[in-house]
Amino acid sequence: MTAAATRDAVDGVLLLNKPRGLTSQQAVVRAKRLFWARKAGHTGTLDPLADGLLPIGFGEATKFSQFLLDADKGYLATLRLGTVTATGDAEGDVIQQRPVAVTLSQVTVALQAFVGPLQQTPPMHAAIKVRGKPLYAYARAGETVAREPRQVTINSIQLIDFIEKTLTLRISCSKGTYIRVLAEDIGAALGCGAHLTALTREQAGEFALADAVSIDDLEGMAMPQRRERLQPPETFASGLTRLDVAANDERRLISGQRVDLGPTAIPGLCRLYGSEGVFFGIGEVNAGLLAARRLVSQLQGEVSGQNGLSNPVVTG
């Protein structure tokens, strides 16, 4: 019997407070072991330097994590002015030091210039892949490769503290935003350079760090207590409209057929609930017709109609 066969079919969402020093995948592996889960995956990478909110999906929940991957994120960031590093954060070698002579007014003006849509070039130490290899692998080999700028959106930047050469900022941004790049750009705008010294993810979509649990706390719990920390598998899709369907329509959707809701039905994705109020998947309404897009597994195996949505990398 394999190790995976001895694990439980755990389905749910865990809001984990990832500590500094762990990669996101290492955190997932530890959480997976604590729950004896067969399959798990996270919903957006946090660098080892960063701590904070890391939502993890177990089992069926991994099918719906794309909705959180696309959600806005919130961070508490600490910047050190006057020092530029090779990586844009505290892990890189110092490559330049400059005098810092900026006022609170100058900082405020500079920060507001970054609110809104902007183009960001992914840093060489990022995890995204180019030609099948993560950028950080090229960087570690001393190579630099061309990267295409990407549009991101900074929803807001709030100045929390400004003491000598240290800025503390609360940032709300779109998915795919590199805070270390933003830190470097802010430093450049102030004329003194900067790098990121600390980063905490406080928000992911509607989920908050205040509701997360640490690995240390989980290790101190018995298994029933750990299971109580799990939210339902559909939690990642909680921002979608709920649609309750009759038993016969549920059967039709599961078998891959469409259901006619009429011309007044609101188009778009929705959460599907059966006649007994049990969640069974994600559907999409188009021109009055409801079709299944991603369904949970049934007792008799995987159902049909699983299309139109992508999954994150998970460990099985």
Q: Rounded to an integer, what distance in angstroms lies between the CA atom of residue 288 and that of residue 284?
A: 10
Q: Rounded to an integer, what distance in angstroms lies between the CA atom of residue 65 and that of residue 56?
A: 9
**Cα-based distances in Å from 67 to 110, 270, 282:** 32, 12, 11
Q: Which residues are part of the catalytic machinery? A: 47
Of 163, 162, 180, the C-alpha closest to 171 is 180
As beta bridge partners, residue 76 has 170, 200
* DSSP code at position 71: S
As beta bridge partners, residue 132 has none
Q: Rounded to an integer, what distance in angstroms lies between the CA atom of residue 250 and that of residue 258?
A: 10
- Kindly calculate the radius of gyration of the chain based on its CA atoms and give it in whole angstroms: 22
Residue 282 sits at the vertex; the CA angle it makes with 279 and 202, to the nearest 5 degrees, is 85
Distance of CA 247 to the CA centre of its chain: 34
